[in-house]
Amino acid sequence: MRARMTNPAYVLPDGMKGIGAIFKAVNEGGISHEVQELVGLRASQINGCGACVHAHSQALVKAGESVERISAVAAWREAPFFTDAERAALELTEAVTRLADRSGEAVNDELWDLVADHYDEKQISALLLLIGVTNLFNRLNAAIKEPAGATWT
């Protein structure tokens, strides 16, 4: 399998500079690398982005995450492998990624308060930026049919 084209973020380098700045901000936001990868994996699963599912899964393996946790991300509500803080981040990820599936508010006050119980404003900012940039890459990859296991330059 081959992608239709090079990822637009690399075709237009100024785009990648902007995305790089977002990732830098996320990394300065105070959320762990593992939570970042869990969030990226869940958004990518929802969006059906094979390239990103593969990349986030591999990053979690490299970080030493267990097979149980990685394989259970898609069904995190029914799995005992996640902390309350991770569950809050995964629920926020689903809400922000599935905007069109919501009736009413995308992120209701109950979910917001749950997330705020575990993360401060800087960390919530990092989570929201991460969810947004993951969704961006998921959509770019879906459009160009980026295959799982692709290597990016």
Per-residue pLDDT tens digits for 14-66: 999 999 999 999 999 999 999 999 999 999 999 999 999 999 999 999 999 99
- Tokens representing 12? 């237009």
Per-residue pLDDT tens digits for 87-123: 999 999 999 999 988 878 889 999 999 999 999 999 9
Full set of structural domains in the chain with CATH: 27-144 (1.20.1290.10)
Nearest alpha-carbon partner for 45 in 148, 115, 124, 125: 148
Burial classification of residue 150, based on how many CB atoms lie within 10 Å of its CB (0-12 exposed, 13-18 middle, 19 or more buried): middle
Nearest alpha-carbon partner for 107 in 94, 117, 121: 94
Question: With contact defined as beta carbons under 8 Å apart, do 134 and 43 qualify?
Answer: yes
**CA atoms of 7 and 89, how far apart (whole Å):** 28
Q: Taking the model in full, what pTM does it have?
A: 0.94
The confidence band for 151, taking pLDDT boundaries of 50, 70 and 90, is: low
Section 138-144 average pLDDT: 95
Question: With contact defined as beta carbons under 8 Å apart, do 98 and 137 qualify?
Answer: no
